Amino acid sequence: MHVPDGFLDVPTSIATGAIAAGAIGLALHRSGQELRRAGTPLAGLTAVFVFAAQMVNFPVGAGTSGHLIGGALAAILVGPWTAVLCLSVVLLVQGLFFADGGLTALGTNITLMGVVAVLVGYLVARAVVAVLPKRPGSVVAASAAGAFVSVPAAALAFVVLYAVGGAVPVPLGTLAAAMVGWHLVIGIGEAVITAAVVGAVVATRPDLVQLARRSLPPVQLVDAEGRPVAATGAAPTGRSAAGTRGVLAVAASVCLLVAGGVSLLASSHPDGLEFVGESLGFAGSSRDSAVAGSPLADYGLTFLPGAGGAALAGIVGVLLTAALAMLVLSLRRRFAAERGAPDRVDA
Amino acid sequence: MSGWLSDRGDPAPVAGQHTRDFDGLYLDRETIVHRLPAAAKLLALVSFLLVVVATSVAAWPAFLGYGLLLLLVLGTARLPAPLVARRMLVETPFVVFALLLPFVATGPRVDVGPLSLSHDGLVGGAVLLAKATLGVLAGVLLVSTTRSRELLIGLERLHLPRPMVAIASFMVRYATVVTADLRRMRIARQSRGLTGGGLAQLRYEAAGVGSLFVRSYERGERVHVAMLARGYAGRMPELGSLAARSTPGQWLTAATLPLTAGVVLAVALLLA
């Protein structure tokens, strides 16, 4: 997956660089407290661990072998924000210190493996762990699912980037099928290894696995005779609404960057579906939708032609969607408050 | 891409059987390229590669110029050709991809012998190969002429966020320790009689990686506590404070590479 120089054009490389920088900035912000408390050595050693774990090879068939990306693994072990930082540093070090992955493609590589693989892997694992019974074993199954999905997700993200700024016209359907198909196979290996590693850690130190912390029984303080006592001071609570806000913030900033930056580049290119449609010859049969006359039609502001308009239209679209989502959330919160439920929304 | 399928880094030793020393790729020589500050080298190479990536097919003779330029710098740095060639093996998976392009790309077909190939794919594959090769060559130049410590100082001078530099510097310091841990565990497994390969082996290997995580995590905690005991107050000392300041002359020297590349591109565009 380490993309070399020249695979994507310069604007796309710069746009992915901006996405990577934004994601790293957000991760620094979100994990700042954690980093101060646990210390940067911990993050550094986790990065070395990911680096070392990537040396474990597994057979993929046809005489070749794959190796771990470790995005989902790191997210499950130390949490998504620290994992984004660790993976980004690993990729930076691989690019600069080992000439692995192009220098101009560093942003692309961080976006694919350090952001998409980590966040998708973590979100899938969290979703799975939420529906499974609260046992440490569930965390292992969730890790496998997260790791499995993270690999084709990163491959799919590559296809999207290639559709925007690919150097050579390749039928996107073929490319997507080949990339995702191949990486589904690699994903199985990733899932097996990730589950085995997480299983080994859960068996010995479940408290170290970030994803497993919620399924651990709460700490019970006992006095000298072994009688349980009530904890004094602030009891450690689970993740509050701040966690939800963080997810929303990253989603929003990535959307804004993609909408603003990438739609600028996309304006000269038909988008993926249109591209496939044209190559398959059904583009003429599609009709413009009912809102084709609206000011945001075809992702360009009618009163502001050109690339700037496309970027602005993208951003305005995202902001509108976000405002709508906020409205729904606040209505739900008010509804819940009226019914006497706690003033909190679980996303 | 199938970059995941290759053994990374230094291609010579077998995966996992060697210790990953971060200065392992550095080749000590007394040349002007080695003496340039890492920040200048890094910026020069990235801008050079941006020029390379921006070059279109129409200006194809420019790629010959870029290659010549890089070879000139490699010669100035007195890097032996066999070593450079060996380190270029990282690129192999992408060579495969570039060779496949003529078969899968769209557009008008041309007949080459018994094969019907895409014209765009042929041209695009060749350009891709040229760009990727130049990129790998530039990367090999950087790692072979710059110590890891200097690279970290360079990243700091380029204002990479401080926690990132700190994480990277811990990575550089502890890579040898952690990979040695991994190797000791493997030797311990083998000395207890675990041989052969296959899925069973993979399970034990993964268990080993699991305990490697616990060891690394606990080591991270110990290192942090030791730092606190020595008066660490949340701010890493600047790496570059003791290093020699870079001079404008050095930056100018480094800038000649991207500037010449720009001239090459302009000339190629004019001639095209």
What residues of A are in contact with residue B155 (Cβ under 8 Å)? 92, 96
Coil, helix or strand at residue B120? helix
Beta bridge partners of B111: B116
pLDDT tens sequence across A24-54: 999 998 887 777 777 788 888 889 998 888 8
Q: Does A33 touch chain B (CB under 8 A)?
A: no
Q: How far is B249 from chain A (nearest CA, A)?
A: 24
A35–B163: do the CB atoms touch at under 8 Å?
Answer: yes
Q: How far is A285 from chain B (nearest CA, A)?
A: 22
Coil, helix or strand at residue B111? strand
Q: Which of B10, B87, B91 minimises the CB distance to A4? A: B91
Q: For chains A and B, what is the number of CB pairs under 8 angstroms? A: 292
Q: Which of A99, A205, A279 minimises the CB distance to B142? A: A99
What residues of A are in contact with residue B105 (Cβ under 8 Å)? 168-170
Give me the pLDDT at residue A332, please. Answer: 57
Task: List the 53-82 stretch of A: residues with Cβ below 8 A of B.
Answer: 53-58, 60, 64-67, 69, 77
A104–B120: do the CB atoms touch at under 8 Å?
Answer: no
pLDDT tens sequence across A45-79: 889 998 888 876 666 555 555 678 899 999 999 88
Tokens of A175: 């490319």
Give me the pLDDT at residue B229, please. Answer: 92
Q: Which of A47, A102, A201 minimises the CB distance to B210? A: A201
What residues of A are in contact with residue B213 (Cβ under 8 Å)? 49, 53, 77, 197, 201, 208
A56–B206: do the CB atoms touch at under 8 Å?
Answer: yes
Give me the pLDDT at residue A278, please. Answer: 39
ipTM of model: 0.82
Give me the pLDDT at residue B3, please. Answer: 35
A42–B221: do the CB atoms touch at under 8 Å?
Answer: yes
Q: Which parts of chain B register pLDDT below 50?
A: 1-20
Per-residue b or e along A315-332, where b marks 16 or more CB atoms closer than 10 Å to that residue's CB: beebeeeeeeeeeeeeee
Closest CA to A279 of A289, A287, A271, A288: A271
Closest CA to A266 of A156, A163, A176: A163
Report how far residue B85's alpha carbon sits from residue A172's, in angstroms, rounded to the nearest whole number.
34
Helix residue spans in chain B (DSSP H): 32-35, 38-54, 61-76, 81-87, 92-104, 119-145, 148-157, 162-191, 198-229, 248-271
pLDDT tens sequence across B145-187: 988 888 888 888 888 888 888 889 888 888 888 888 888 988 8
Give me the pLDDT at residue A264, please. Answer: 42
Give me the pLDDT at residue A135, please. Answer: 79
Does the predicted TM-score (pTM) go above 0.90? no
A97–B172: do the CB atoms touch at under 8 Å?
Answer: yes
Give me the pLDDT at residue A174, please. Answer: 83
Beta bridge partners of A58: A66
Which residue, among A3, A35, A49, would best test binding to B if mutated, counting the most B CBs under 10 Å from its CB?
A: A49
B205–A24: do the CB atoms touch at under 8 Å?
Answer: no
What does the DSSP 8-state code read for residue A222? Answer: B
Cα atoms found within 13 Å of the Cα of residue A306, Cβ hemisphere only: 2
Helix residue spans in chain A (DSSP H): 10-38, 40-53, 71-78, 80-97, 106-109, 117-131, 136-165, 172-204, 241-257, 263-266, 272-280, 307-338
What residues of A are in contact with residue B135 (Cβ under 8 Å)? 4-6, 102-105
Return all residues near B270 (Cβ < 8 A) that are at least 6 apart: none
Task: List the 240-299 stretch of A: residues with Cβ below 8 A of B.
Answer: 279
Q: Which parts of chain A register pLDDT below 70?
A: 1, 56-66, 217, 231-347
